[in-house]
């Protein structure tokens, strides 16, 4: 199966050809493509995952593009399954309402709306809501549950149709979708086309500074085409007659950036938060290729540390399982080279149980398996939720088990260490 759409030769934001590879990674299976037993002998799909920086605007990005229909046609991830994300989206919606005070019945459009979790909170404020998401099954389910969702990719044609049938939007949101789209120029033009003259565009993306400082390797996978920082985005918005008026760093997904933009000349003043964050990025030389190359060096050390620890455990006859068949887990297993060291993986999601991970074909079992099989160590693959996983499974530690966490450094969590969690 040929799933490659293309390899880009120009920057997504400024269209420069001056690109340099800064984080070379091992070719990796596509996440969320778990296999049934009868699929294990099929040809494995392994794709490049190298990161490049634009030496003109500083934007960090993947250049190898996978056909989005392959990525999203049978997409299973649902925002509503994460209690932490549900809480975050409630606060996110509340903050927008309190700050910008849209009139009742104003239209809110969420691009990449998934199961409609965010839009439900806007709907409670008596706003009209509309989702856009290419994952058909999830979009249909959201519509059935009261959040009208168009099962399509956002583009100019769709934005024109929305304008005609639903009117202009007071608020347009895109959470992680602004990192998932290959054609960001087309996406921004489509969003601007949807906005009222005094409307706002709010986006949330994984923040490059957090990725670098915390070694958040698990945020790097094929859906994430862009690894955003503020400086390139300010320039990008300005090129398309928009301006970023506010930014906020949040802890969700290990470290994210919420940005708010308006059409140039809109009613809102630019917050001091924008200049403060630009200064922080300058201080950390975030647009310097050498900064990204240092990340690669740190990652190599982390890989060496993890490999030594797990191999030593195996030599001692210890059993090691993984916790969380997450999207991030595919990257971690491949880049750390630990697939052969994990006896099995447990996950709370019934849809993943009984299937095998892409790449290394590790069997995924129900979480209660850890109390039946009693592995000596549990390597946390769903790193975003490591503290919650440990708290929720304290019984495993009480019975003599140990968790292994790997960001920003490798730690073994047993009875002595649990008090710090």
Look at strands 107-111 and 128-132 and give their pairing.
Answer: parallel
Domain of residue 331, CATH code:
3.40.50.720
* Tokens 């915390």 sit on residue: 214
d(CA 24, CA 336): 13
As given in the structure block, the two tokens for residue 89 are 């989206």
In a domain, 150, yes or no: yes
Query: Looking at the structure, do residues 262 and 381 belong to the same domain, yes or no?
Result: no
Residue 31 is predicted with a pLDDT of 87
d(CA 239, CA 13) in angstroms, rounded, equals 9
Contact 411, 405 (CB under 8 A): yes
Residue listed under structure tokens 């040809």: 43
- Note the pLDDT of residue 91: 96
Q: The CATH number of the domain where 224 resides is what?
A: 3.40.50.150
Supply the range of the domain harboring residue 163.
Answer: 79-287
- Sign of torsion over alpha carbons 156, 161, 164, 170: negative
Q: What is the pLDDT of residue 5?
A: 59
Would you state the pLDDT for residue 76?
66
Contact (Cβ atoms closer than 8 angstroms) between residue 397 and residue 418: yes
CA distance linking residue 135 with residue 114, whole number of Å: 7
Distant-in-sequence, close-in-space partners of 267: CB < 8 Å, separation ≥ 6? 198
Within this chain, do residues 224 and 357 fall inside the same structural domain, yes or no?
Answer: no
- 197 and 88 housed in the same domain: yes
Sequential pLDDT tens for the chain (421 residues): 456 557 999 999 999 999 999 999 999 998 888 999 999 998 887 899 999 999 999 999 999 998 887 777 666 677 877 778 899 999 999 999 999 999 999 999 999 999 999 999 999 999 999 999 998 899 999 999 999 999 999 999 999 999 999 999 999 999 988 999 999 999 999 999 999 999 999 999 999 999 999 999 989 999 999 999 999 999 999 999 999 999 999 999 889 999 999 999 999 999 999 999 999 999 999 999 999 999 999 999 999 999 999 999 999 999 999 999 988 899 999 999 999 999 999 999 898 999 999 999 999 999 999 999 999 999 999 988 898 899 999 999 999 999 999 988 899 999 888 766 6
My answer on whether 91 and 193 are in the same domain is: yes
For residue 5, tell me if it sits in a domain. no
Residue 163: closest CA among 147, 177, 150: 150
User: Is residue 264 situated within a structural domain?
Assistant: yes
pLDDT at position 6 is: 75
pLDDT at 219: 92
Q: Are residues 278 and 341 in the same domain?
A: no
Judgement on whether residues 180 and 326 belong to the same structural domain of the protein: no
- Report pLDDT for 207: 97
What pLDDT, on a 0 to 100 scale, did the predictor assign at position 88?
93
363 - beta bridge partners? 356
How many structural domains does the chain have?
A: 2
- 108 and 152 assigned to the same domain: yes
**397 in the same domain as 276:** no
* 209 Cβ contact partners less than 8 Å away, ≥ 6 residues apart: 229, 255, 280, 281, 284, 286
pTM, 2 dp: 0.93
State the virtual CA torsion across 37, 40, 42, 44 in degrees, nearest 10. 130
Q: How far apart are CA 331 and CA 226, in angstroms?
A: 16
Residues 271 and 402 in one domain: no
And the tokens for 131?
Answer: 């989702």
Is residue 120 assigned to a domain? yes
Do 236 and 353 sit in the same domain of this protein? no
Residue 62 forms part of a structural domain:
no
| Structure token pair of residue 393 | 């499974």
- Which residues lie closer than 8 Å to 158 by C-beta, 6 or more apart? 132, 150, 152, 190
- Helix and strand totals (H; E) in the chain: 15, 21
Shared domain for 106 and 193, answered yes or no, is yes
């Amino acid at each position: 199966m040929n799933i490659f759409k293309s390899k880009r030769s120009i920057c997504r934001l400024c269209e420069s050809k001056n690109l340099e590879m800064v984080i070379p990674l091992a070719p990796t299976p596509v996440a969320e493509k778990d296999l049934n037993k009868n699929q294990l002998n099929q040809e494995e799909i392994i794709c490049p995952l190298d990161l490049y920086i634009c030496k003109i605007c500083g934007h960090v990005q993947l250049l190898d593009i996978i056909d989005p229909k392959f990525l999203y046609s049978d997409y299973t991830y649902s925002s509503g399954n994460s209690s932490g994300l549900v809480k975050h989206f409630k606060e996110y919606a509340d903050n927008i309402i309190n700050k910008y005070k849209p009139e009742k019945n104003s239209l809110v459009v969420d691009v990449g709306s998934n199961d409609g979790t965010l839009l439900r909170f806007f709907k409670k404020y008596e706003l009209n809501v509309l989702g856009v998401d290419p994952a058909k099954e999830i979009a249909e389910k959201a519509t059935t549950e009261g959040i009208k969702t168009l099962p399509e990719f956002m583009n100019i044609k769709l934005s024109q149709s929305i304008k005609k049938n639903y009117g202009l939007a007071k608020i347009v949101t895109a959470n992680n979708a602004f990192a998932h789209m290959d054609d960001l120029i087309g996406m921004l033009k489509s969003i601007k086309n949807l906005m009222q003259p005094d409307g706002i565009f709010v986006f949330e993306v994984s923040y490059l500074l957090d990725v670098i400082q915390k070694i958040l390797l698990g945020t790097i996978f094929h859906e994430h085409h862009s690894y955003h920082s503020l400086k390139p985005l300010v320039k990008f918005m300005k090129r398309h007659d928009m301006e970023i008026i506010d930014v906020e760093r949040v802890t969700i997904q290990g470290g994210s950036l919420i940005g708010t933009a308006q059409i140039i000349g809109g009613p809102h003043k630019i917050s001091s938060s924008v200049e403060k964050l630009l200064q922080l990025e300058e201080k950390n030389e975030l647009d310097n290729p050498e900064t990204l190359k240092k990340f690669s060096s740190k990652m190599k050390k982390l890989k060496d540390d993890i490999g030594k620890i797990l191999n030593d455990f195996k030599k001692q006859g210890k059993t090691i399982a993984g916790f969380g068949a997450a999207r991030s887990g595919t990257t971690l297993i491949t880049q750390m080279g630990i697939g052969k060291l994990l006896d099995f993986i447990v996950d709370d999601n019934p849809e993943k149980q009984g299937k095998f991970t892409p790449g290394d074909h590790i069997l995924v079992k129900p979480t209660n398996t850890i109390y039946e099989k009693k592995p000596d160590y549990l390597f946390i693959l769903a790193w975003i939720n490591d503290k919650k996983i440990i708290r929720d499974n304290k019984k495993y530690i009480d019975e003599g088990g140990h968790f292994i966490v790997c960001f920003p450094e490798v730690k073994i969590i047993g009875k002595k260490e649990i008090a710090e969690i």
